[in-house]
Amino acid sequence: MKTNILLIAICLLLGGCSVSRYSDPTADVTNPATQIPESVKPLFDTFVRDTYVTLGGDGNYYLTGTTVRKGRLSARDWNLGIELWKSGDLKNWQYLGFAWEFDKDGTWHKPFHIQKQPTEFLGQKLESKRRSVLAPEIHYIKRLDNYFIVACMGTKSGQHRAGSFILKSTTGKPEGPYESIEACKDGPITDRIDGSLFEDDNGDIYMIDHDDKIAKMKPDMSGPAEDFVPFKQTPYPEEPYIEGGFIVKEGGKYHLLHAIWSRKVEGKDEYSYNDAKTSEKYTYDCIVATADNIYGPYSKRYNVITHGGHNNFFKDRNGKYQATTFWNPVGIVGATLKHSARPSIIPLKFEKGKFHIDYN
């Protein structure tokens, strides 16, 4: 007994037996196992950031994401609404048009916010009026046999703050038309961007708020059934800005996806705090952590796709996992890419409790 106590004391003193409370901040962005395969090409030649794909109840795939007005390099000033594409094989895509438009379908979303100070992005001047819908996701909820879109306002809209909102198809069809759920009739459901939805095996539905909060929804999806609470996570020592939260369930466990920028720090790549300076951003990575319970605690994080962040994982009709990506043009690596803000799909595999790129 005394020997065991002595050994434990020595281990703790040396740090060899302690369990770290933090994820490893080292960003191994050159790891061959996390590089997007050369075989991956854009699905079609249209600007789509934050690409999201789902398998619908009719057996077809539906794609959406942040889109722009013709000739624009971003949606940071204003765009027109939420656009939708359809495919039967993940290769050939049909444009379905707008599932939701500001001027046709918006209510509280319609007013522009005027930004008096001129700004630019990727070398293109932004207009002073701002009204953007960003990072839309289309979800087929099996229990309700209906489609829902969760999206966010990137800027203020009149008196309303930026934030995430949920739309429901009024016809049960993916192309809509869509209307706000009850909790979003007068404004966003949360005051942060990048909302997401997750339907569990038992039919329970959850909303993810940005990157670090979650709430179960009411059975009829009219609004949250509880307050949003933080996930229990294993953070980095200096927690960076994180976005694009998304959950997928596999192997009986919950896998929480995040989009996190790596940055150069004294010649090393790491995930650490930054103030969003574009000059410091290196790669925009798809980071994953795992938990037995949807609320956590979640494991230490690991990188699945280097410069493939703000995406989703989904199973195709054959039960094989795929990941979306969009070739983020921002950052040091983004500026060197052949493709820019184009929707793409990366094959995945799930082995030994973790997701990996499938190069076979």
**CATH at 219:** 2.115.10.20
Burial class for 324, CB neighbours closer than 10 Å (0-12, 13-18, 19+): buried
CB-based contacts of 265, cutoff 8 Å, min separation 6: 272
More confident residue, 293 or 1: 293
Bridge-based pairing of strands 268-270 and 253-265 is antiparallel
Tell me if 17 is assigned to some domain. Answer: no
What pLDDT is attached to residue 117? 74
Q: Residues 250-255: what's their mean pLDDT?
A: 98
The upper half-sphere exposure of residue 117, i.e. CA atoms within 13 Å in the direction of its Cβ, equals 1
**pLDDT at residue 50 is higher than 90:** yes
What pLDDT is attached to residue 119? 86
**pLDDT at residue 2 is higher than 70:** no
Provide the pLDDT confidence category of residue 114 given band limits of 50, 70 and 90: confident
The DSSP code sequence of 117-150 is S--EETTEEPPSEEB-EEEEEEEEETTTTEEEEE
For the chain, the average pLDDT equals 92
Q: Residues 137-142: what's their mean pLDDT?
A: 98
What is the domain count for the chain? 1
Provide the pLDDT confidence category of residue 9 given band limits of 50, 70 and 90: very low
Tell me if 175 is assigned to some domain. Answer: yes
The DSSP code sequence of 183-218 is GGSSS-SBSSS--EEEE-TTS-EEEEETTTEEEEBP
Tell me if 165 is assigned to some domain. Answer: yes
What pLDDT is attached to residue 12? 40
Cite the DSSP H helix spans in the chain: 2-14, 102-105, 331-334
What pLDDT is attached to residue 11? 40
Across 77-86, 194-203, 273-282, 309-318, least confident range: 273-282
User: What is this structure's pTM?
Assistant: 0.93
Tell me if 14 is assigned to some domain. Answer: no
What pLDDT is attached to residue 240? 93
**pLDDT at residue 106 is higher than 60:** yes
Q: To the nearest 10°, the Cα dihedral for 138, 348, 251, 291?
A: -70
Q: Residues 100-114: what's their mean pLDDT?
A: 94
What pLDDT is attached to residue 280? 81
Tell me if 7 is assigned to some domain. Answer: no
3-class SS at 84? strand
Lookup result for tokens 């994401």: 65
Amino acid of residue 88:
G
Neighbouring CB atoms inside 10 A of 301's CB total 24
**pLDDT at residue 276 is higher than 80:** no
CB-based contacts of 74, cutoff 8 Å, min separation 6: 49, 68, 121, 122, 124, 126
**pLDDT at residue 152 is higher than 90:** yes
Lookup result for tokens 């795992």: 290
Provide the pLDDT confidence category of residue 173 given band limits of 50, 70 and 90: very high
| Torsion sign (Cα): 156, 157, 159, 163 | negative
Tell me if 347 is assigned to some domain. Answer: yes
Q: Residues 285-300: what's their mean pLDDT?
A: 98
CB 270 within 8 A of CB 319: no
Q: Residues 300-306: what's their mean pLDDT?
A: 98
What pLDDT is attached to residue 179? 98
Provide the pLDDT confidence category of residue 266 given band limits of 50, 70 and 90: confident
Tell me if 15 is assigned to some domain. Answer: no
Tell me if 82 is assigned to some domain. Answer: yes
Residue 41 sits in which domain range? 24-357
Q: Residues 108-132: what's their mean pLDDT?
A: 88
Q: Residues 200-207: what's their mean pLDDT?
A: 98
**pLDDT at residue 244 is higher than 80:** yes
CB 300 within 8 A of CB 24: yes
**pLDDT at residue 189 is higher than 50:** yes
